[in-house]
A and B are shown apart, each in its own frame.
Chain A
Amino acid sequence: MDELKKDEILEESEEAVDAEAPAEETVEDVETDFSEEIPEAEEIVEEKSELEAELEEIRDMFQKELDAASDGTDEVLIQELEDEAEESEEEEEFVPCDCCGENPRSVSYGEDYPYCDSCREAMKRYPLRFSGFLTLVISLALIAGTAYFAMPTIDSWIPTLESVSLYKEGKLYSAIESSYSALNSSDKENISKKLVRETIDAYVATGYYNDAVGLIEMFFTETELKMPWNAKYNKIITENTVLQETYYTVSDIIEPVANGKEYDYDTIIASLDALKEVNPKEEGTSTVTEKYNEVFIEYYKYVVMSVNGKSVEEQLAQLKKVHEIGEGYEWTYLSNLCGIAARAGDEETVNEAFEKAIEINKEDVNAYIAKASYYRFLETPDADKILEICAEAAKNSYGGDVSYKQYEAIAYLIKGEGAMALEAIEEAISSVYTVQSCNLYALCGLYNGNTDIYDEMKDVLEGAGYELSPLVEKYKKGKITIAEIIADNGGDI
């Protein structure tokens, strides 16, 4: 409104200034015209006077306007207008804080900074959210709660971890021993189910079915055993019964063989074969067993063959037959297979059986001994290889089993290192007191010129109803050499 007024005034002032000049010019022109046109003088004079009057009025009017324009009040007005314009410009520049919407944004933190100083200060004290505190409290409560409930189970942790680790390493005997302390360290509920399962598996893998069943009965309720995921344990219970019944039945058949009585080999083999067709449940001799365990039957056929002095090749063929059907029952035959294959010089079978035996139980010293035997029975025995295998056995043997030391002694005899051989057999005999080890000890004693050992072993064996091996006697008499003993029997005396 004021702006318009100002513009109008300014326009009128300009028009007034412009209009003044033409007006003077017109009067001059009129005066000139008037002097020239005399005949119409009166009219002209009248017109002139009218015009002059009009001009006078216009002049006054413009004068008034000019006076008004140059008046102090208008300056005030213009100043006000200018101030208002400046204010409106300022109003256009004002951008409120994004947060409060009242204060202008602070430009000291950058042109585009969206907040005012007071909001910025408030943001530094932005309250922490309750959800954060709550989550923190829940986390701490969970830590405390878990620790509280886990506390009673802690006793079983270390033996459990140790046992499970040993199971993973395949050291079954050590793992089983370690699991004893874990299984007896706390309440049944607090004992690791994984450890129980691993121990059951270890018992099964090493043939201790009775112990496995004992653990199953101790740690699994009848309801749990009915669950599909526990079917395996039901099967173990059934299998244990089948194995026991097979064993008792087979034992009856091979009783004359086991006790050195007279027997007809073919009859016994036929009787064992016949068991495969029998259904004890139907016959009423068992409530569980529908079929005797075929692996057991075939294995005992091998035992009978072995006792009956069948050839190594025949025994090996029988054991290979067992191996074909024997998955899960490796504990019955695998070390025998390895040993017989070694005698037969079947390197492939030796390696296969050895790898399998070690895969099941790294601590199966019999497997190492059987593999070492392969190198004893070679045409040129490989003493270094035997020592290498014995060193491996030493690393993995369980519970101070040093039976492999006998074969270390043989290896040293092959190498001609009598002192080392004697040292090895002395260590072996401290835990393995057999006819074989006594004979070997006597032989090593003689090899080292020590007849006292020979005499001692002779007394020991005779005291137990045995005699020293003729090979040792022959060696004493100088009728045979160590090389010949090893070439003939691989060092088995």
Chain B
Amino acid sequence: MTGLYILVRYLTFPGAIMKGFWQQVVCRICKVPVEDNRYLRNDEMCGNIEHEFMPKARGAFALCFVPAFMNALLCTLLIVVPEIVLLFGIGGIPLKVLSAVSLWFGISLYLNSYPLIEDAINMMSKVYKEGNILQKIFYAPAAALLYIGAYLERYNITLLAVVAGAVALAVLF
């Protein structure tokens, strides 16, 4: 499973790099030491940076949420137009080629949006054991989504979701 995980990370390296990048940005903002900032590596940390755990609930949440949000945002912007272009065969060859590349970039970002399981566990722990009541309330939906997503991504179920989505689109249109 780890082999497949690493393979998917390499096949979707733009997303893996971006996730590591956003994680590092959050670590820098929160002043959390980063031990290893290689975004791509041959172990299960692939697509993530090695850092100390966030000491506070807000930071722990941000570390999981910001990369997911930014990757999802970029993913949406990257795939909306290409999907229409490719699905409906609109435009000439340059647009179609560009759309294909954008679509791959977008899918890469989506496949690398969820946090590492350890970070997700730390986030849940910080938010629900140390966070205040407002944090518990406001972070709850996103935290739950990120926590589940972390496991889905770890076991490549997000990849299956992409395949299922592609099939659904093909059937729908």
CA distance A261 to B43 in the complex (A): 89
- When C-beta atoms are compared, the residue in chain A nearest to B13 turns out to be A135
Q: Is B17 an interface residue (CB 8 A)?
A: yes
Determine if B90 and A156 form an interchain contact, defined as CB atoms under 8 angstroms apart.
yes
Least distance between B3 CB and chain A CB atoms (Å): 23
CA distance A55 to B18 in the complex (A): 92
Q: Is A395 an interface residue (CB 8 A)?
A: no
CA distance A128 to B14 in the complex (A): 15
Determine if B85 and A124 form an interchain contact, defined as CB atoms under 8 angstroms apart.
no
Determine if B105 and A142 form an interchain contact, defined as CB atoms under 8 angstroms apart.
yes
CA distance A192 to B81 in the complex (A): 13
A-B contact count (CB 8 A): 118
Q: Is A64 an interface residue (CB 8 A)?
A: no
Q: Mark each residue of chain B from 70 to 93: 1 if its CB lies under 8 Å from any CB of chain A, else 0.
A: 000010011001101101111110
Query: For B17, B28, B78, which residue has the most chain A Cβ atoms within 10 angstroms?
Result: B17
Which of A125, A138, A143, A194 meets B14, CB within 8 Å?
A: A138
Q: Is B109 an interface residue (CB 8 A)?
A: yes
Determine if A132 and B17 form an interchain contact, defined as CB atoms under 8 angstroms apart.
yes
Q: Is B113 an interface residue (CB 8 A)?
A: no
Residues of B within 8 A of A191 (CB): 90
Q: Is B24 an interface residue (CB 8 A)?
A: yes
Q: Is B122 an interface residue (CB 8 A)?
A: no
Stretch at the interface among B30-38, B125-133, B136-144, B156-164: B30-38
Determine if B95 and A135 form an interchain contact, defined as CB atoms under 8 angstroms apart.
no
Q: Is A193 an interface residue (CB 8 A)?
A: yes
- When C-beta atoms are compared, the residue in chain A nearest to B88 turns out to be A192
CA distance A135 to B20 in the complex (A): 11
Determine if B77 and A153 form an interchain contact, defined as CB atoms under 8 angstroms apart.
no
Determine if A146 and B99 form an interchain contact, defined as CB atoms under 8 angstroms apart.
yes
Residues of A within 8 A of B92 (CB): 189-190
Least distance between B48 CB and chain A CB atoms (Å): 13
Determine if A168 and B28 form an interchain contact, defined as CB atoms under 8 angstroms apart.
no
Query: For A139, A143, A156, which residue has the most chain B Cβ atoms within 10 angstroms?
Result: A139
Knowing A126-B24, A139-B74, A164-B173 touch, does A149 contact B94 (C-beta < 8 A)? yes
Residues of B within 8 A of A146 (CB): 78, 81-82, 85, 95, 98-99, 102
- When C-beta atoms are compared, the residue in chain B nearest to A144 turns out to be B77
CA distance A128 to B173 in the complex (A): 42
Determine if B99 and A164 form an interchain contact, defined as CB atoms under 8 angstroms apart.
no
CA distance A195 to B88 in the complex (A): 7
CA distance A125 to B94 in the complex (A): 41
Q: Is B11 an interface residue (CB 8 A)?
A: no
Q: Is A5 an interface residue (CB 8 A)?
A: no
Within 8 A of A (CB), among B1-40: 14, 17-18, 20-21, 24-25, 27-28, 31-35, 37-39
Q: Is A147 an interface residue (CB 8 A)?
A: yes
CA distance A132 to B78 in the complex (A): 17
- When C-beta atoms are compared, the residue in chain B nearest to A186 turns out to be B90
Q: Mark each residue of chain A from 153 to 170: 1 if its CB lies under 8 Å from any CB of chain B, else 0.
A: 100110011001000100
Determine if B17 and A160 form an interchain contact, defined as CB atoms under 8 angstroms apart.
no
Determine if B105 and A153 form an interchain contact, defined as CB atoms under 8 angstroms apart.
no
Determine if A139 and B14 form an interchain contact, defined as CB atoms under 8 angstroms apart.
yes
CA distance A126 to B34 in the complex (A): 6
- When C-beta atoms are compared, the residue in chain B nearest to A156 turns out to be B90
Determine if B98 and A157 form an interchain contact, defined as CB atoms under 8 angstroms apart.
no
- What's the tally of chain A residues with a CB closer than 8 Å to chain B? 37
Knowing A146-B95, A189-B91 touch, does A123 contact B35 (C-beta < 8 A)? yes
Determine if A168 and B24 form an interchain contact, defined as CB atoms under 8 angstroms apart.
no
CA distance A404 to B39 in the complex (A): 67
Q: Mark each residue of chain A from 402 to 440: 1 if its CB lies under 8 Å from any CB of chain B, else 0.
A: 000000000000000000000000000000000000000
Q: Is A385 an interface residue (CB 8 A)?
A: no
Q: Is B134 an interface residue (CB 8 A)?
A: no
- When C-beta atoms are compared, the residue in chain B nearest to A192 turns out to be B88
CA distance A336 to B99 in the complex (A): 48
- When C-beta atoms are compared, the residue in chain B nearest to A99 turns out to be B35
CA distance A208 to B125 in the complex (A): 66
Least distance between B80 CB and chain A CB atoms (Å): 9
Determine if B17 and A153 form an interchain contact, defined as CB atoms under 8 angstroms apart.
no
- When C-beta atoms are compared, the residue in chain A nearest to B49 turns out to be A126
- When C-beta atoms are compared, the residue in chain A nearest to B92 turns out to be A189
Determine if A132 and B21 form an interchain contact, defined as CB atoms under 8 angstroms apart.
yes
Q: Is B172 an interface residue (CB 8 A)?
A: yes
Q: Is A267 an interface residue (CB 8 A)?
A: no
Least distance between B95 CB and chain A CB atoms (Å): 4
Least distance between B126 CB and chain A CB atoms (Å): 17
Determine if A132 and B18 form an interchain contact, defined as CB atoms under 8 angstroms apart.
yes
Q: Is A129 an interface residue (CB 8 A)?
A: yes
CA distance A195 to B32 in the complex (A): 53
Knowing A126-B24, A146-B98 touch, does A193 contact B89 (C-beta < 8 A)? yes
Knowing A126-B28, A132-B20, A139-B14 touch, does A194 contact B98 (C-beta < 8 A)? no
CA distance A149 to B102 in the complex (A): 12
Knowing A123-B35, A153-B91 touch, does A139 contact B101 (C-beta < 8 A)? no
CA distance A131 to B16 in the complex (A): 11
Q: Mark each residue of chain A from 164 to 181: 1 if its CB lies under 8 Å from any CB of chain B, else 0.
A: 100010000000000000
Query: For B38, B77, B90, B92, which residue has the most chain A Cβ atoms within 10 angstroms?
Result: B90
List 11 other contacts, CB 8 Å, given A124-B32, A132-B20, A143-B78: A120-B33, A123-B34, A128-B25, A129-B37, A131-B17, A136-B18, A139-B109, A146-B98, A146-B102, A161-B84, A193-B89
Sample of 20 A–B contacts (CB below 8 Å) = A123-B33, A124-B28, A126-B24, A128-B25, A131-B21, A135-B14, A138-B14, A139-B18, A139-B78, A145-B102, A146-B85, A149-B91, A150-B84, A150-B91, A161-B84, A189-B92, A192-B89, A192-B90, A194-B89, A194-B173
